[in-house]
Amino acid sequence: MSRIDGRTPEQLRPVTIERGWSKHAEGSVLVSFGDTKVFCTASVTEGVPRWRKGSGEGWVTAEYAMLPRATNTRGDRESVKGKIGGRTHEISRLIGRSLRAVIDYKALGENTIVLDCDVLQADGGTRTAAITGAYVALADAVTWAQGRKLVRPGRRPLTGTVSAVSVGIVDGVPLLDLCYEEDVRAETDMNVVCTGDGRFVEVQGTAEAEPFAREELNALLDLAVTGCADLAALQHTALEATLEK
C-alpha cells in the first residue's frame, strides 16, 4: 500500500536544509520536510537570565510560532489575541528541552542562545522540522561564538546532534513523517527526538482515537529511530558545506 504522496511507510518526505538564510542571525536555516517550511534562527547574546547569573553556565531556549496563514485557513495572531496558546507553549518548551539535551552549559559559558522557529508553511510535522532545523542553526551559532572567543578555547558546547521526526499509525499501518492529511487520520501519533547516536531525548506518544498496545509503540519507535538517523545524516551533510555569508 502506498501513501497519499507515493512514499513507502518508512520513507521521509524530501528534506532540505538551507543555511545562512538570514544576514542578521548568528545561525539561520530554512528547513523543509515536504511542504512544511520552518525558518529557524539562532541568536547569541552575551549574558544569561537573572536566575543563572554568576553560575558560569550558559542557557539555550526556544520560541515556536506559526505565521497566520501558514495553514489552510488563516488563524488569528497570538500577538493580537494578547496571549500565547497552549499548543505554542507546549511546542516551544519541547524544542528548548530537545536542544538543551546536547548542550554543555559550562562549555557555553555565560552566553544565551535563543532559537526562533517560525512556521512559514505547515503540512504536518512542524515541531519535528523545527527541532531538526534548529539544531543546524544552533551549530552555526556555536561556531560563530567560538570564532568570537565567547567560548573558551578547547571547550565544545555541543555534545552531540539532535533531530526529530513524527510517526503514527494510519489504518493500522505505522508510517514515518506524517503529512497533514495523514496526521488527521492517525489513530496514534508520536513525536520522537533522538541524538545522532540513536538514543532518545524525548518520546511523546498520544492515542488520538484508540489506546495503543505495547507492540504498536515498539513498531513506532523502530520507525522513528530510523528516520532520525536519516535526518542526522542530512544535518551532517548540510553542516559540511561551506557557509558563505
Extract the annotated binding site for phosphate.
Answer: 87, 125-127
| Count of residues touching a copy of itself (by CB under 8 A) | 67
With CB under 8 A as the contact rule, the residue among 15, 48, 60, 101 that binds a copy of itself is: 101
The candidate with the shortest Cα–Cα distance to 171, out of 112, 122, 232, 216, is 216
* Residue 176 or 228 with smaller CB distance to a copy of itself: 228
83, 38 contact by CB (below 8 A): no
From the list 125-133, 143-151, 171-179, 208-216, the region that binds a copy of itself by CB under 8 A is 208-216
232, 17 contact by CB (below 8 A): no
With CB under 8 A as the contact rule, the residue among 5, 10, 18, 35 that binds a copy of itself is: 35
Q: Fill in the per-residue mask, 126 to 155: x = in contact with a copy of itself (CB under 8 A), - = not in contact.
A: ------------------------------
Residue ranges at the known binding site: 87, 125-127
**Angstrom distances, CA of residue 37 to CA of 80, 173, 233:** 23, 26, 19
110, 46 contact by CB (below 8 A): yes
165 φψ region: left (φ > 0), alpha (ψ -120 to 50), beta (else)? beta
DSSP for 38-98?
Answer: EEEEEEEEES--GGGTTSS--EEEEEEEE-TTSSSSPPPPHHHHTS--HHHHHHHHHHHHH
Residue 199 near a copy of itself by CB under 8 A: yes
Residue 119 near a copy of itself by CB under 8 A: no
From the list 48-56, 78-86, 127-135, 227-235, the region that binds a copy of itself by CB under 8 A is 78-86
Residue 161 near a copy of itself by CB under 8 A: no
Residues that bind a copy of itself in the complex, under the rule CB under 8 A: 22-25, 28, 35, 39, 41, 43, 45, 63, 65, 67-74, 77-90, 92-93, 97, 101, 114, 116, 118, 120-123, 160, 190, 194-195, 197, 199-207, 210-214, 217, 221, 225
